[in-house]
Amino acid sequence: MLDTHVRVKICGITRIEDAIAAVRSGADALGFVFYAGSPRFIHPEDARDIIRRMPPFVTTVGVFVNEERNRIEAMSRTSGIHSIQLHGSEHPEDCSGFDRPVFKALRVSGLESLASIQLYETAGILLDSAVPGTWGGTGTVPDWKCIGDFLDKDISGIRKRLILAGGLTAENVKMAVKIVRPWAVDVSSGVEFEPGIKNHEKMKEFTYAVHCATCA
């Protein structure tokens, strides 16, 4: 049995109606992608208009990929996001010195790729699938057992700041949570009609499945 409530982040929000539906479904956090190469890209000004209409205690996260620090800071101020997610090939030293909490995303391709986790002293570590030529949102599932086994041997408490992503859906998230036991899960393509357009029913089913996993 899991001893903590697993938080839910719904990423790739581009429309106010989807943001409202995500919050109503029970999402704890919303992600806004500020990487122009993503089909879920949103301008910081448009994200700001959505964020301003969100209720208290909903965390908003800006996703950046190999972006310059001054642009990250500028877009963060403009949008009003609470946290920064660095989803590219940023080094540990690139993740410090911001005025907002930072989550570092790492792409999992095997046990070797997990070894670098301990180099990042960020507020959160997000584990996604490694798919050549992409930076996430592919719907590809990482090796949960590999991740779970690695974390079982960890003595530094990484699970307390671990966010699991990669191919999660309402059908598989319960199993993923039980194997990996993350602090939070992150979903994007698994609750969409198409990139950037969320399926409100799938979001409800997803958050319900996560909550069931923590109390079973």
Active site residue 46: no
Q: Report pLDDT digits (tens) over 127-167.
A: 987 655 554 555 678 789 989 988 888 767 889 999 999 99
Question: Average pLDDT over the chain, rounded to whole?
Answer: 91
**In the CATH scheme, what is the code of domain 7-215?**
3.20.20.70
Active site residue 11: yes
Q: What share of the chain is helix, strand, coil (3-state, %, to 5)?
A: 40, 20, 40
- pTM more than 0.85: yes
From the candidates 11, 18, 95, 186, give the one annotated as an active-site residue: 11
Q: Are 156 and 125 in contact (CB under 8 A)?
A: no
Q: Among candidates 46, 126, 127, which has minimal Cα distance to 83? A: 126
CA distance 2 to 128: 22
**Considering only 97-111, 168-182, 200-214, which range has the smallest mean pLDDT?**
97-111
Q: Report pLDDT digits (tens) over 44-98.
A: 999 999 999 999 999 999 999 999 999 999 999 999 999 999 999 999 999 999 9
Please state, in angstroms and as integers, the Cα–Cα distance from residue 47 to each residue in 33, 34, 44, 160, 212, following that order: 9, 9, 5, 28, 31
From the candidates 3, 128, 149, 186, give the one annotated as an active-site residue: 128
pLDDT score, position 155: 65
Q: Report pLDDT digits (tens) over 26-49.
A: 999 999 999 999 999 999 999 999
Inform me whether the pLDDT recorded for 99 exceeds 70. yes
pLDDT score, position 113: 73
